[in-house]
Structure 1
């Protein structure tokens, strides 16, 4: 697991109650009334900024093919050859593909990584809070019309499965259950590959599979992701913090791997900062390449940016790309 920066030597990390800028919907250690209030605030934030902007396509997050046969059209470079209509191709003496229409009901499954590496943040929120916010956005964008959503989550101590159901009451109960999941204990290693395999087997109805993680660590999850792509449209939401990408110039700092508990005190020299940034960039590119090979749409959310604006830009670009417009 890639090491993450901890508290600079001689400094104290600000507490959650010290006036730091935190998302209003995600205060720590919530009792029941505050939990309900926080989740309601998150729901209003998502609905208030997404409603009216992303209406139109049935599969809002990943517009694309369904399973119902549609019209045939001439093959264009970049089309999926698996959709080739050989009967029409033979009759017209020109390659044609068979378009498909979206199903009338969409079943969405979310694999939510809540391992110890997400219990870290140096900006407005930590990565865990951003992952829960991403789940809320996915829930909102795929709800309605008889659609269902379920979640499989793992904080390193075992999988928790929340069955796919529809309705606002289910969505709220699901988000509450996820938010109440205990944080991973120090030294607990997550297993993204096993989490994805839990979605792959047993096979589920064709639909949308969403993976929310920071994708820190090895890439042993690639095979499971490719297996999911055989039946589902895929979306990967990568949650990042600025300290995942570069080290600040703060002198002596303690680097900690939250999933092994190992720590190392180093001095953030220009050479070290340059090597850290290069290694982080290389890992991010490896992750992006693995997602592309699996045919997975890729959305990056950062703790230091407007995550809802990032979602809007992503969805609008996907819609324009699918409709033939400029991305």
Structure 2
């Protein structure tokens, strides 16, 4: 059952939500409605995440920090890169160096708004889900003097929004993302990610929000380069029709990036099986490339409650990554 998160996003384009049958492509963004939904979105995120993610320092990726702290004995699962070799040599027991969590963080978003995200067959478009992910990252990072900036990519341009502190500037950033007009054509995800690599920035957090439908070779190298310097999170936005086809007879598919159409007989079980197999292989390749870049991987679907998915992801990250961190 769709939760409140989907209910809010489902009203982003028009008062009555989306028409039956998932025909959502090309629905324009109403500015007044976008402002209303952004306000509801912020309230919903605040209530949900503040209520469940308590701690001294909240964040979507609570990294170990960079300031050296005390040492303690090694435990299975600890990062071997934090081994304290001088203490290990003196005590003859493996020790790891604890670190103090950073209190000021600079977060950069790379938000892919290419035409392939103007698609959705459930309660929202993938584009709307990307906005929700950006809002959640903003809420969990903009506090205590933290700064957040973004690069927003369409088929024709990459817009850079400078990193600034404070909720007011964060809301302005989300407003710009929400009002970015859809552009026909295919964007370059690799160039968008590279916009975070140049010019070099202080170490911080980088979040890439996309459906990653572009060829993996196009974006995997820039993403690996980004992961070397920053704490990296990849938010993959998925629609269920990209994973499997329903048995509904003849369907006409339109590529949102090229405009080409193609009729498909979905009643053919062999075709549906081949489609599901190819889709699974594609998603496995994407997941492998994200792991290779050292990115934490969060998958959001247009047919599930994105708020619950984010809460589970953050809770798991906090449990796995804060071991040995001095707060």
The TM-score, its normalising length taken from structure 1, stands at 0.86
Q: Where do residues 17-28 of structure 1 align in structure 2 (5 Å cutoff)?
A: 20=18
Deviations 1:58-94 (A, max 9, x none): 2521123111112223344544333333322332334
Point out the more displaced range, 80-89 or 296-305: 80-89
Aligned length, in residue pairs: 305
2-structure distance, mates of 1:123, 1:290:
27
The answer to whether 1:189 aligns with 2:186 is yes
Point out the more displaced range, 171-180 or 47-56: 47-56
Deviation of the 1:304 alpha carbon: 0.6
Deviations 1:142-183 (A, max 9, x none): 111011111111011111011111112101111111111110
Counterpart residue number, 2:282? 283
C-alpha change, 1:114 and 1:291, in structure 2 (3 Å) is: same
Point out the more displaced range, 275-284 or 28-37: 28-37
Q: Where do residues 284-299 of structure 1 align in structure 2 (5 Å cutoff)?
A: 284-299=283-298
Deviation of the 1:229 alpha carbon: 1.6
Counterpart residue number, 2:234? 236
The answer to whether 1:64 aligns with 2:63 is yes
The answer to whether 1:46 aligns with 2:45 is yes
Q: Where do residues 1-327 of structure 1 align in structure 2 (5 Å cutoff)?
A: 20=18, 29-30=28-29, 32-185=31-184, 188-220=185-217, 221-268=219-266, 269-323=268-322
Point out the more displaced range, 116-125 or 84-93: 84-93
C-alpha change, 1:38 and 1:69, in structure 2 (3 Å) is: same
Deviation of the 1:189 alpha carbon: 1.0
| Structure with greater helix percent | 2
1-structure distance, mates of 2:293, 2:73:
25
Q: Answer whether contact 1:66 1:100 (CA < 8 A) is retained.
A: yes
2-structure distance, mates of 1:283, 1:112:
21
Deviation of the 1:57 alpha carbon: 4.9
Q: Answer whether contact 1:57 1:63 (CA < 8 A) is retained.
A: no
Deviation of the 1:133 alpha carbon: 0.7
Deviation of the 1:30 alpha carbon: 4.7
C-alpha change, 1:57 and 1:123, in structure 2 (3 Å) is: farther
Q: Answer whether contact 1:59 1:102 (CA < 8 A) is retained.
A: no
Q: Answer whether contact 1:107 1:147 (CA < 8 A) is retained.
A: yes
Q: Answer whether contact 2:155 2:186 (CA < 8 A) is retained.
A: yes
Q: Which sections of structure 1, spanning at least 5 residues, go unmatched?
A: 1-14
Point out the more displaced range, 220-229 or 140-149: 220-229
Q: Answer whether contact 1:21 1:124 (CA < 8 A) is retained.
A: no
Q: Which sections of structure 2, spanning at least 5 residues, go unmatched?
A: 1-12, 21-25
